[in-house]
Chains A and B, each alone.
Chain A
Amino acid sequence: MQRIPLIIATGLLALVGSAHGSSFIGTTDAIGGSLVNTIDATSDATSGNNKVVLEAREDAASFVGSDGHLRSARLEAALLHIRQSNPELEATDMQLAEAILAL
C-alpha cells in the first residue's frame, strides 16, 4: 500500500496539539520525527537488491547530475558495498552510480 501521505497525517497531528492545548503535545515529535521519512521509503519497489545500495539512489542521482561533484557518504558506502560483493567488477564510480540509478 502507498504510504506516502503519512507526512500529511503528521502535519495534522501537529495541529491537533496546537488546537487542544498542551496535553497531547508530548508525542508529536516522536511521531513527526519517525513518520515523516516514510515518504522516502516509497519511491522504489525493486526488491532483491541490497538496502545500502537502494538507499543511495537519490545520492547517486546527485552524483551523476553533478558530474561527480556531489559525493556523499551514503553513496560512498554503496560503492564500497558493490565493490566488496563483486570483487571482479571493474568500473569507475560514475559507471557504478549510473548502474545504481538503473536498478
Chain B
Amino acid sequence: MLLGSPLAQAELQLVLDQRKLTPSQARASQTLLAEATALLPPSLVEQMNLRVPVRWSERLSEPVFGRATPGGALELNRLWLADLSAGRDGRFPQGRQHGTLRQELLATLVHEITHLYDRGRHWNTEQRSLLQQCRSRYRTQGEVGLPSQCRGQTERRFTLSDDPRFLDLAGWPQQIGRRGAREPTNHQTYRSPDNYELHSPGEYLAVNFEYFLLDPQYSCRRPALHAYFTDHFGWAPPQAADCPNEVPYLYAGLDAQRPALGWLDPERIYAVHYLLAEANEQWASRWGHSMLRLVICAPGRTPGPDCLLDLDHHLVLSFRAFVDDLQLSSWDGLIGNYPSRLFMLPLQKVIDEYTRLELRSLSSVPLRLDEQARRQLAQQAAALHWSYDGTYYFISNNCAVETLKLLRSGSALPQLHDLDSLTPNGLLEVLHARGLADLQPLQDRQAALRQGYYFDSHRERYQHMFEVIRSNLQIPTEHIEDWLASPAEQRQSWFASADTRSTAALLVLEEAIRRRQMLLIQQDLKQRFLSADAPPELTEVAQLAQGLMSASSFLSRPGELLSEGYGLPQPQESQRFLELAGARQQALLATADDVEQRLLALINPQQRQQLDATRDNISLLAQQLRRLHEEAGGIQLP
C-alpha cells in the first residue's frame, strides 16, 4: 500500500500551512504539531479521522494564543513563532497557566482539538443506541414517561460536554424538580486552574483536557475528572507519581488544641450514613437537616463493623447557610442571600450541637454504597469543600438538595440519576424506596442508641433524670422547668442527701442548666444591644465581634486562602496552607479571648452569679461522686 493513501490516513492529522514560513520556522512548527498529536489519546486520534489545517495568524490579539475558526481550522498567534523557532521563551509572560511557551502552545492546540472532538459527536455504538432509544422514547412518551437512564440524553449534541455525568462532575448539577435541566452557573469557583473553564461546559471540557494531558499531577488534583477521561478514552497519560492517600480538609472550628488541617483517607471509610436531624419548631428547621456521616475507622483498625464506635474519627459533611437561628431572615433565605458551603465537621461536635443545645435527635441511616462509591464520594466532598461557594435557598437549594447533588456526583449510582427531593425527610424516603437506605438498624430504638444509629435529644434524658431525683430525694418541685429555673443555692441544698444514682442525675441536670443559662445570657445581651440605650461597651464588643466574623470567613471557604495550585491541595501546598491558616487562627483566638473577657464584664450580675454558682454545683457533684465511689470501694480506672 502506498504511504499517504486515504486509507492509511483514517485518523486525525494536523496539516501545517507552510506559506510564509522559513524552513526553520516550518521545522519547529511541524515538531510542535507532531508533539501535540502524540499527546492525544490514541482512540481520539483514530476516531477523529480529520485533516485539520493549522496556520500562524497575525490577526489574533496578544493575550490570545490560538483559536479554532468556524471552518474547522486552527490558528496560532504568529507573535510567538520566532520565539518557538529559536527555542526560547522570549516575551512569554509570567504567570501563564502552563509555565513555558512550548507547553502553552501545546495546550492551545489540545484545547482547540478538544472543541473539534466535542463537536464531532464521537459516540461509540453503545452510546449511540442509547441516545437513539432515548430520543424515540421522548418523542412518543414525552418527559414524564422517560426511563431514568434517558434523563439528560434526549437532546445530546456533543461528544462529552453535555454528558450528564460530565456535567455533574464539572459543577453544572441538575436543578431539582426540573427533569434534569442543569443549573446555569458553575459555583465551583475556587482553586480553578483557569477561570475560563467556568464560562461553559464546552470550555470546562477543553481546559480540563489540557491539564489531563499536560499536567502529571492532574490525577491528584482532580481525581474524579481524571477517572472520567481515563474511562472514556480507555487510556491515561503517564503520571508523575502516586497521589497521596489522604486528602486535606479545613477543620471549621476555632480550637487551639487542633491543627487547622485535617486529613481524610478515603480508603478508611467503612460506611456512609445519611444523617438526619429531626425537625423542631424553629421554622427554618421544620424540615430537619440533611447531612452525610463518614464512618471512618480509627488508625490501626481494619475497616469493619467495629468502626461504628470509633465516633471520635467520624466526619460529618454538612451544607449550611451561614446563619443561625437568632438572625435567620426568611426573606433572605428565599431570595438566596445566604451562601451555601460544605463543612466537614467532627461527628461528636455535630451530635452535641443538635442533641444538647438544640435538643433535637439525630438518625444515622446506613447507605448501601460499595467501596468504590464511598471512595469517590469522599473525593468529591473534598473537591467541593475546596472549590464550592454556592447560594442557599430554603426551598430550591437547601441542605437536602445539596446533599443529594453531592451523593449523585460523588457516587455516580444509577439509582440516584433521576431522583428529586426537596426535603430532608423526603430524601430519606426516596433513598429508602430505591433500596439505597437501610432503615433496619433503626427499628430497635435501644439497640440503635447503643450502636450509634440514633442519637437522642437530651430533652428526654433531662426529664428522666428529673423524675429520678424527684422520687429519690422527695423533691417537691413538680415541673422540670421550675427545677431548671430555681436558684443554684436552693438546688444545692438537696445534694448532701443524694446517693450515687441521684448524684449522677443531679449532675446531668446541672450541665443542662449551665447550657440553658448560657442561652439566656445570650438572649439578654442581644436584647440590650438592640435596645435604644445600648451601653457603649457592648457596642464596642459588637464591633470587635464583627471584625472576628469577617476575619473568619476563610474557615468556611478554605479555597480563598490558598492561591497556589488548583484542585485538591498537594503536599507542598498543604504545608503552606497550614502556615497561613495557623497564623489566622491564632489571631482569631486572641480576638475571641478579648471578646470573651469584655463580655464577662457585661453580663447581668445576677446571671453571672448564677452561672458561677452552677459551675460550683457541678464541681461539688463531681467531688461527691468521687467520694461516694471511694467509700463504696469502686473500681479505680488506671
Q: Are B309 and A12 in contact (CB under 8 A)?
A: no
Among A31, A53, A73, A96, point to the contact of B548 (Cβ < 8 A).
A31
Question: Is B490 on the interface with A (CB-CB < 8 A)?
Answer: no
Contacts A73-B451, A74-B311; is A95 near B464 (CB within 8 Å)?
A: no
Q: B-facing mask of A1-28, CB < 8 A → 1, else 0?
A: 1011111111111111111101011111
Chain A hits for B552, CB < 8 A: 27, 30-31
Question: Which of A36, A60, A80 has the most chain B CB atoms inside 10 A of its CB?
Answer: A36
For the complex, what is the distance from the CA of A87 to the CA of B626, rounded to whole Å? Answer: 24
Among A20, A29, A99, point to the contact of B637 (Cβ < 8 A).
A99
For the complex, what is the distance from the CA of A67 to the CA of B522, rounded to whole Å? Answer: 35
Contacts A11-B526, A14-B526; is A33 near B320 (CB within 8 Å)?
A: yes
Contacts A13-B549, A71-B449, A101-B625; is A7 near B464 (CB within 8 Å)?
A: no
Contacts A5-B596, A55-B348; is A15 near B508 (CB within 8 Å)?
A: no
Chain A hits for B630, CB < 8 A: 102
Kindly provide the distance from the CB of A67 to the nearest chain B CB, expressed in whole angstroms.
6
Kindly provide the distance from the CB of A74 to the nearest chain B CB, expressed in whole angstroms.
6
Closest Cβ neighbor of A75 among chain B residues: B450
Chain B hits for A65, CB < 8 A: 464-465, 468, 501-502, 504-505, 507-508
Q: A-facing mask of B342-360, CB < 8 A → 1, else 0?
A: 0101001101110011000
Q: Are A35 and B525 in contact (CB under 8 A)?
A: no
Chain A hits for B253, CB < 8 A: 33-35
Closest Cβ neighbor of B548 among chain A residues: A13
Question: Is A66 on the interface with B (CB-CB < 8 A)?
Answer: yes
Q: A-facing mask of B442-465, CB < 8 A → 1, else 0?
A: 000010011110011000010011
Question: Is B606 on the interface with A (CB-CB < 8 A)?
Answer: no
Q: Are A16 and B504 in contact (CB under 8 A)?
A: no
Q: Are A31 and B352 in contact (CB under 8 A)?
A: no
Chain A hits for B636, CB < 8 A: 99, 102
Closest Cβ neighbor of A86 among chain B residues: B638
Chain A hits for B312, CB < 8 A: 51-52, 55, 77
Kindly provide the distance from the CB of A81 to the nearest chain B CB, expressed in whole angstroms.
9
Chain A hits for B130, CB < 8 A: none
Q: Are A35 and B254 in contact (CB under 8 A)?
A: yes
Q: Are B464 and A66 in contact (CB under 8 A)?
A: yes
Question: Is B330 on the interface with A (CB-CB < 8 A)?
Answer: no
Query: Could you tell me how many residues of chain B have their Cβ less than 8 Å away from some Cβ of chain A?
Result: 91
Chain A hits for B523, CB < 8 A: 11
Among B254, B310, B515, B526, point to the contact of A34 (Cβ < 8 A).
B254
Q: Are A6 and B596 in contact (CB under 8 A)?
A: yes
Q: Are B635 and A29 in contact (CB under 8 A)?
A: no
Closest Cβ neighbor of B627 among chain A residues: A102
Kindly provide the distance from the CB of B394 to the nearest chain A CB, expressed in whole angstroms.
14
Contacts A28-B549, A73-B449; is A37 near B637 (CB within 8 Å)?
A: no
For the complex, what is the distance from the CA of A8 to the CA of B529, rounded to whole Å? Answer: 13
Residues of A24-64 at the interface with B, using a CB-CB cut-off of 8 Å, are: 24-40, 43-44, 49, 51-53, 55, 58, 60-64
Chain A hits for B514, CB < 8 A: 39
Kindly provide the distance from the CB of A61 to the nearest chain B CB, expressed in whole angstroms.
4
Q: Are B546 and A20 in contact (CB under 8 A)?
A: yes
For the complex, what is the distance from the CA of A18 to the CA of B322, rounded to whole Å? Answer: 12
Among B321, B337, B356, B521, point to the contact of A29 (Cβ < 8 A).
B321
Among B322, B508, B542, B615, point to the contact of A12 (Cβ < 8 A).
B542
Question: Is B241 on the interface with A (CB-CB < 8 A)?
Answer: no
User: Known contacts A9-B595, A16-B545; can you find 12 more A-B pairs with CB under 8 A?
Assistant: A9-B599, A14-B326, A24-B546, A24-B549, A28-B323, A30-B556, A53-B637, A63-B504, A65-B508, A66-B505, A67-B501, A99-B634
Where the two chains meet, the residues of B that have a C-beta atom closer than 8 Å to any C-beta of A are 252-255, 308-312, 320-324, 326-327, 329, 332, 337-339, 343, 345, 348-349, 351-353, 356-357, 446, 449-452, 455-456, 461, 464-465, 468, 500-502, 504-505, 507-508, 511, 514-515, 518-519, 521-523, 525-526, 529-530, 541-542, 545-546, 548-550, 552-553, 555-556, 592-593, 595-596, 599-600, 603, 611, 615, 618, 622, 625-626, 629-630, 634-638
Q: Pull 5 A–B residue pairs with CB atoms less than 8 Å apart, ordered by A.
A: A26-B553, A33-B320, A40-B356, A77-B309, A99-B629
